[in-house]
Amino acid sequence: MKTITIIGAGIVGLATAYKLQQKYPDSKIIIIEKENDITLHQTGRNSGVIHSGIYYTPNSLKANNCRNGYKQLLQFCDTNDIIYDICGKLIVAAEPHELPELQKLYERGAQNHLDNLQWLNSGQIQELEPHVKGINGVLVPQTGIVDYKEVSHKLLEIILSKGAEIFFNEKVLDLQQNNQVAIITNQQTHTADIVYNCAGLYSDKLAAKTNQINHKIIPFRGEYYELKPEKRHLVNNLIYPVPNPEFPFLGVHFTRRISGGIEAGPNAVLAFGRESYHKMQINFPELFETLTYSGFLKVASKYWRDGAYEMYRSWSKNAFTKALQRLIPEIKKEDLIVANAGIRAQAVDKQGNLIDDFLIIREKNVIHVGNAPSPAATASLAIADSLVELLE
């Protein structure tokens, strides 16, 4: 019987444990989590969107895993009575100069096997979203919403019922490779035949224990507002702008949550620590490490104008409101209530490239998930399949 240890109890780590049990039912599965509960970081702070895959480069890991993971996620939810809603998403061009990029997205969606995409004129946009102002839009009917915390807790329930163990409040300090791997935590030392590093925001720190790596995780905070209940009628489902092709984020948008609320956001600002969810929360050693990293300095020189605007919008509610008004002119500053923020663990290589695709690194008996930003939650069961296949 092999012992397999997974570091990190986000949705990717839990999905990996779930798939390992299916493939190797006689193995001993252990999960190590530094917090006192699961999904307290990226999984528990995302917007709950079930992504269709329209944005991703055809045949990339993101595109293929999103498409496969999407199907598996819906099947898992159906089997386990988890509520979700395939409500569709509207991508809106508010200005003429955005139309070529919208056309590219429409074509890319077709390349990624998304059937029934609809190209809409302004009148058709208003039939779906009466308060939205746009020239043209693309309706992506496959997009949906779900509570990924609920999905994760169901995964945990299943894997624990089949004999897996989870250790909370254990921070991994070191990995020592030999015939087996010693996982040294602040509480004890575990031994495993195989280790999966699904540590998210700290995955690079653990990867560097066993590998020479060419990237570092740079944390970008996404800040959200929530619409006041009396203003929720302004949004029916999901409304997105056409993303700026020069800036690797999707722009502020409107998301209906499965719980009924409407979120507006996120922006994308450099976080002053890997878990600095508030503007004035600073982890000085981590911030220093970011600011002195050659890859980040190259990213900053490339995107400084966009970054400066994101930072300004972080501090100015007026600027944030103005960005939202490009899609829904009726939105007013007083309609917005500050909501939770999340942090995206974005891998950046030493050459200053934001690694766009999922990144998996294997070093003998340790497998590192080096980069798994959105759509990792949607794709989690498919990512887990890929991780399990590496054992074969």
Tens-digit pLDDT profile for residues 364-376: 999 999 999 999 9
DSSP tag of 354: B
Judged against a pLDDT cut of 90, whether residue 249 lies above it is answered with no
Scanning the chain, the segments in alpha helix (DSSP H) are 11-23, 61-79, 99-111, 122-128, 148-161, 203-210, 284-291, 294-315, 317-325, 376-389
CATH number of the domain within which 208 lies: 3.50.50.60
Number of domains in the chain: 1
Strand-by-strand arrangement of the 144-146 sheet: 49-50, 144-146, 84-85
Write down the pLDDT at residue 310.
Answer: 87
Judged against a pLDDT cut of 80, whether residue 119 lies above it is answered with yes
Could you list the beta-strand ranges (E) of 8-160. Answer: 28-32, 49-50, 84-85, 89-93, 118-121, 136-140, 144-146
Q: Kindly give, in sequence order, each residue whose CB lies less than 8 Å from that of residue 55, ignoring residues fewer than 6 positions away.
A: 105, 108, 243, 250
Q: Between the CA of residue 257 and those of 33, 253, 320, what are the distances in Å?
A: 27, 13, 20
pLDDT in tens, 346-360: 999 999 999 989 999
Beta partners for residue 264, in sequence order: 225, 254
pLDDT in tens, 325-349: 999 999 999 999 999 999 999 999 9
Write down the pLDDT at residue 339.
Answer: 94
Write down the pLDDT at residue 164.
Answer: 98
Q: Is residue 228 part of a domain?
A: no
Q: Is residue 167 part of a domain?
A: yes
pLDDT in tens, 90-100: 999 999 999 99
Mean pLDDT value across residues 303-331 = 92
Q: Is residue 380 part of a domain?
A: yes
Q: Is residue 274 part of a domain?
A: no
Write down the pLDDT at residue 247.
Answer: 66
Question: Across the chain, what does the average pLDDT equal?
Answer: 95
Where does the pLDDT of residue 12 fall: very low under 50, low under 70, confident under 90, or very high at 90 and above?
A: very high
Write down the pLDDT at residue 248.
Answer: 63
Write down the pLDDT at residue 40.
Answer: 97
Output the CA angle 134-373-358, nearest 5 degrees. Answer: 115
Gap between the Cα atoms of 90 and 282, Å rounded: 36
Judged against a pLDDT cut of 80, whether residue 81 lies above it is answered with yes
Query: Which residue range is the domain that position 21 belongs to?
Result: 1-87+145-214+357-392
Q: Is residue 319 part of a domain?
A: no
Give residue 242's identity as a one-letter amino acid code: V
165: left (phi over 0), alpha (psi -120 to 50) or beta: beta
Bridge-based pairing of strands 84-85 and 238-241 is unpaired
Q: Token pair of 377, please?
A: 């939650």
End-to-end CA distance of the chain: 16
Where does the pLDDT of residue 391 fall: very low under 50, low under 70, confident under 90, or very high at 90 and above?
A: confident
Q: Is residue 76 part of a domain?
A: yes
Gap between the Cα atoms of 88 and 264, Å rounded: 17
Gap between the Cα atoms of 188 and 63, Å rounded: 39
pLDDT in tens, 17-27: 999 999 999 99
DSSP tag of 8: -
Q: Is residue 123 part of a domain?
A: no
Handedness of CA 104, 105, 110, 112 (dihedral sign): positive
Write down the pLDDT at residue 168.
Answer: 98
Write down the pLDDT at residue 14.
Answer: 98
pLDDT in tens, 203-244: 999 999 998 899 999 999 999 999 999 999 999 999 999 988
Write down the pLDDT at residue 250.
Answer: 73
Q: Is residue 56 part of a domain?
A: yes
- What is the share, in percent, of the chain residues with pLDDT greater than 90? 91
